[in-house]
Structure 1
Amino acid sequence: MNLSANISDLELTWEFIAKKSILAAVLGVEMILGIAGNTLILFTKIKGRGQFKSQYWVSVVSLSLSDLGCSLFVISSSLLAVLINGQRSPWCEVVCLLKFAFITSSLGSLAVLCMQQALDLACRGRHLSIAVGAGCLISWLTGMLFGTVPVAFKWIRYDPAEMLCAVFWENNYSAMLAYILCAFCICIFPPFLLVVLGSVLTSAGWIRNGSRDPDDLSSVTPLLVSFYLLCYTPFAVSELVLLGRLDQSPAPDWLRTLSSVTAYLDCGINPFIYCTNQDFRVAMMGLLWTNRKAPSEPVLTAVAKLDL
């Protein structure tokens, strides 16, 4: 009996170590790709802006800032939580707030980008750039506002499955229902509807003045939208499972872990998506090329005399 119990405990220990090692490796790769890739993308967008076409640069930069922030703060915090088996307050609450803010800001930036492309609202003037920037800023602020509510009401605690602090509901189903529905109706559904509407209008070719350039960086928007929706589908499913359970029990552990891993994956994939644009890829490689010295003036080294 004791021998069997020891063997079972040893198997569980090795299973726990293997799972922890795999998660740490996956999160480490996602963090490196997210930080290095989005830093390079932002550097190229700002430093090499004149080397490629980008009519919708405000929303594109906002999306990259969201991905970089998620990689710097949220993914790194999840990796650390896996390594030390937990997260402490107050950083626990801060990361939960930031995660919600980055989710809504990235979706809001995509919505603005899709509608700009569908209506051909390029940032050619100061007023339009301010309006687009205000739209992106609103998505950031609403995300932070709704991320603050669970912190204020102390609904936050560490979730080993999600690898960071998350919202847990214990006794108040009505509060959970009201919060999730309000967050969905204000932060998620409107930008999601704009993403779908903008994508449909663009696919249908409904452009107001037909001036869209196929070589513009916005040509990668369909890929950005597709991978965003794919990566955040497990997160949406886990929230719907929670909403449908009257006993307020969360979704299965594997689904919550998958939702975090795939959501983080979106931050690391986006830099590769931008590189599918040839002009942007050339500009990025040009900035990375270290031997970019200007050619020196020709120097006369010898004179040959011709016999006539």
Structure 2
Amino acid sequence: MKAPQPRAHINDHRAQVADKSQHPLFRGNYVNQAFMVQSLQRSTTEVSEGLNGTLMTEQPWLEAKRWLLVAVLGLEMTMGIVGNCLVLLVKVMCRDQFSCRYWLPFLSLTLSDLGCSLLIISGSLVAILTGGQRSPWCEVVSLLKFTFITSSLGSIAILCVQRLIGMASTGSALFVVMVTACLTSWVTGLVFGSVPVVYAWIRYDPAEMLCAVFWENSYSDMLLYILCAFSLCIFLPCVLIFFCSLLLSASSCHSNWNSDDAVDLSSVSPLLVCFYMLCYTPFFVSELILLGRRDLSPAPDWLRTLSSVMSYLDCGLNPLIYCSHQDFREAGLALLWTNRKPSSEPVLTSITKRVNV
């Protein structure tokens, strides 16, 4: 019985393929294809090993960076809370032991630094440990941060203007004007800080360690907001600080300069101005970089991290600047020194009259 024709056809086809596989050209192509597959597998393995090695190398660095930021923020938060609370206690309980003619802007600045230490720095510290911030706390932190920045800069500007005028915060009609100016700086920061919240421009930024404004759609909206916010909240106070400091420096060269300001707590205002500008320079630079990029890409991560760390540092440095004033420092030490030794000098308690008979 004959085999079926289709089976014979299949066997003939297999024989033809076997004959072709012995051909040099066919065998060369087969070898090349096998070599390419092996090379691709080897390259994939090397890339995978390289990525694994890179991740293993970066993982300890990211962990070390995280705990370093936790330590730095913890120190800044402690300095800000403890220092500004002590400043408030000294200003309230020991106000008669040192001269402070312009106490209103000092009080506004201290409250701003204390609020930033309690709410913003602590929020960033928790965000690092937990990996982010959630709504609505995310929006609240962004709003309050801009409010504290504006109020602190406005308080320093009001202090410089008041020193130039030379009128104290009490006992004059200027008191109402100063109260209005301090409240205006707070309200202005609150209004401009609420605009990104209303338009949902807020999201968490791991580099800044808090929720910040991100521009993803419109360059014109970003340009309009930043120009308005910087003009009213940053540029105007800086202009007042610059011109008042310039006029105060010129006035100090004349003999008619009021010598009472030399012993007043306001004599530390040049240090306040210098350290504020130093600590907030990275923040201003990062905003200017954002303003100059048409693709709406933010500043580098390291610059945004530095801007947050340096701005937080200013809240803890201001109490140390106050302590550079001798009378304020002595009043603070007297408040903290609870274990006072009794005086060794004799004290006259009564007089007994003796009559000689």
TM class, shorter-length: over 0.9
Determine the structure 2 residue equivalent to 1:224. 272
Counterpart check, 1:251 vs 2:299 = yes
Determine the structure 2 residue equivalent to 1:304. none
Q: Indicate the percent of aligned positions where both proteins have the same amino acid.
A: 59
Displacement of 1:9 in angstroms is 1.7
Are the counterparts in 2 of residues 34 and 71 from structure 1 also a CA contact under 8 Å? yes
Counterpart check, 1:282 vs 2:327 = no
Displacement of 1:119 in angstroms is 1.8
- Residues 255 and 293 (structure 1), Cα distance of their counterparts in 2 relative to 1, 3 Å cut: same
Are the counterparts in 2 of residues 120 and 211 from structure 1 also a CA contact under 8 Å? no
Q: Residue type matched to 1:32 in 2?
A: T
Give 3-state SS (helix, strand or coil) of 1:204's partner: helix
For the residues of structure 2 that align with 1:213 and 1:150, how far apart are their CA atoms?
Answer: 42
Determine the structure 1 residue equivalent to 2:12. none
For the residues of structure 1 that align with 2:97 and 2:176, how far apart are their CA atoms?
Answer: 23
Determine the structure 1 residue equivalent to 2:249. 203
Are the counterparts in 2 of residues 155 and 169 from structure 1 also a CA contact under 8 Å? yes
Q: Residue type matched to 1:232 in 2?
A: Y
Q: Residue type matched to 1:188 in 2?
A: I
Determine the structure 1 residue equivalent to 2:314. 266
For the residues of structure 1 that align with 2:110 and 2:246, how far apart are their CA atoms?
Answer: 23
Determine the structure 1 residue equivalent to 2:57. 11
Unaligned 5+ residue runs, structure 1? 301-308
Determine the structure 2 residue equivalent to 1:37. 83
Give the alignment of 1:69-84 within 5 angstroms: 69-84=115-130
Displacement of 1:273 in angstroms is 0.4
Specify which of 117, 120, 124 is matched with residue 163 of structure 2: 117
Structure whose CA Rg is larger: 2
Q: Residue type matched to 1:88 in 2?
A: R
Instruction: State the structure with bigger RCO (CA 8 A, min sep 6), 1 or 2.
Output: 1
Specify which of 276, 287, 290 is matched with residue 239 of structure 1: 287
Displacement of 1:124 in angstroms is 3.5
Give 3-state SS (helix, strand or coil) of 2:321's partner: helix
Query: What TM-score do the two structures reach when normalised by structure 2?
Result: 0.80
Query: What TM-score do the two structures reach when normalised by structure 1?
Result: 0.93
- Bigger CA drift: 178-187 or 236-245? 178-187
Determine the structure 2 residue equivalent to 1:103. 149
For the residues of structure 2 that align with 1:145 and 1:189, how far apart are their CA atoms?
Answer: 17
- Bigger CA drift: 255-264 or 126-135? 126-135
Unaligned 5+ residue runs, structure 2? 1-45, 350-357
Determine the structure 1 residue equivalent to 2:24. none
Runs of 4+ in 1 over 4 A off after TM superposition: 206-209, 292-300
Counterpart check, 1:137 vs 2:183 = yes
Q: Residue type matched to 1:99 in 2?
A: K
Computed over aligned residues only, the root mean square deviation of the Cα atoms, in angstroms, reads 1.9
Determine the structure 2 residue equivalent to 1:165. 211
The alignment of Structure 1 onto Structure 2 pairs a total of residues equal to 300
Are the counterparts in 2 of residues 66 and 105 from structure 1 also a CA contact under 8 Å? yes
